[in-house]
Amino acid sequence: MLTRRSMLMAIAGQVLGAGFATAQARFHRRPKPLPAGAVTADWPSFLGPSHDAVSAETKLSRTLPPPLVWEFPKGTGYTSPAIAGDRLVYLHRLGNDEIVECLHPETGASRWQFRYGTMFEDRYGYNNGPRSSPVIDEQLVYTVGAEGKVHCLELGSGRVVWKHDLRVEYKVPQDFFGTASTPLVEGRLLIVNVGAPGGPCVVGFDKTTGREAWRAGTEWGPSYASPVPALVHGKPADGRSDVDRSRERTPGLFVSVAQSDARLGERVVSCGVRQQGVRIGELSDRRRARRDPA
């Protein structure tokens, strides 16, 4: 049995480009047994179970590249797979379809497939595939396509539970690379970076029904940033506290904002979250914007 982290490494190195027809995985060998005492964990979202891109797994093989267990021809896209139990979910594009693939993580065997149409075109003509990664939460999986089509699917069957079209419902214009933010499951909510002009910036949907629970922000506009949970002043910034809807303010999620000029869409912004507050560092034109707690 492969660890989740080494499985991601093997997949990242061996998922291949393909044409416009869906193909089956090619199985090569069974994974080696885990060493005694090895700690393993699922990798259910873009940045892992702790939302910090750090794996707690132990006794990983130091031999690179890892042995090839299976390979799967894929279409275009920059998404990463999500793994939970015996399910691996991957989002990619073939022709004019965005496809959610659910595979067995140790064999590559297909569990189910869900596809829907898309006409998205990258403004640079570089890659029309999706850039937002799937998120698995218990028995549900969430995906966001390049055109902002949000789907909640049953992890076991691929059946659609609910869906939203962000571009249509929130009048979000297309930017250079389409919708690229990976959503966040926090408590009962699916938190999505919407980026609608004039607001909302971020929307919290009930993760089981798809109903909009709250919205926040009117001035930020679209971005490619993915939300992560954090402790701000010792309190969880997860958006579960009450919302002052008249001001579209979400206490506990957006405590304070340090604004920097990103009108050209060329700024690369890094965000470090501290126990006592939030720090934002901007890497462009040798300038930095920083907001630390008093």
pLDDT of 197: 83
Degrees (nearest 5) of the Cα angle 204, 210, 212? 40
Whose CA is closest to 245, among 221, 218, 215, 205?
Answer: 215
pLDDT at 248 over 80: no
The CA distance from 266 to 158, in Å, is 37
pLDDT of 271: 52
| DSSP conformation class of 48 | T
Give yes or no for a contact between 239 and 186, defined as CB atoms under 8 angstroms apart: yes
The CA distance from 54 to 56, in Å, is 7
- The residue-averaged pLDDT of 219-240 equals 71
Residues 13-40 have pLDDT tens digits of: 344 433 344 568 888 998 888 888 899 8
- The residue-averaged pLDDT of 171-179 equals 83
Residues 37-57 have pLDDT tens digits of: 899 899 999 999 988 888 888
- The residue-averaged pLDDT of 86-97 equals 94
- pLDDT band for position 113 (cuts 50, 70, 90): very high
| DSSP conformation class of 67 | P
Pair type for strands 16-17 and 73-74: parallel
State what percent of residues in the chain have pLDDT above 70: 71
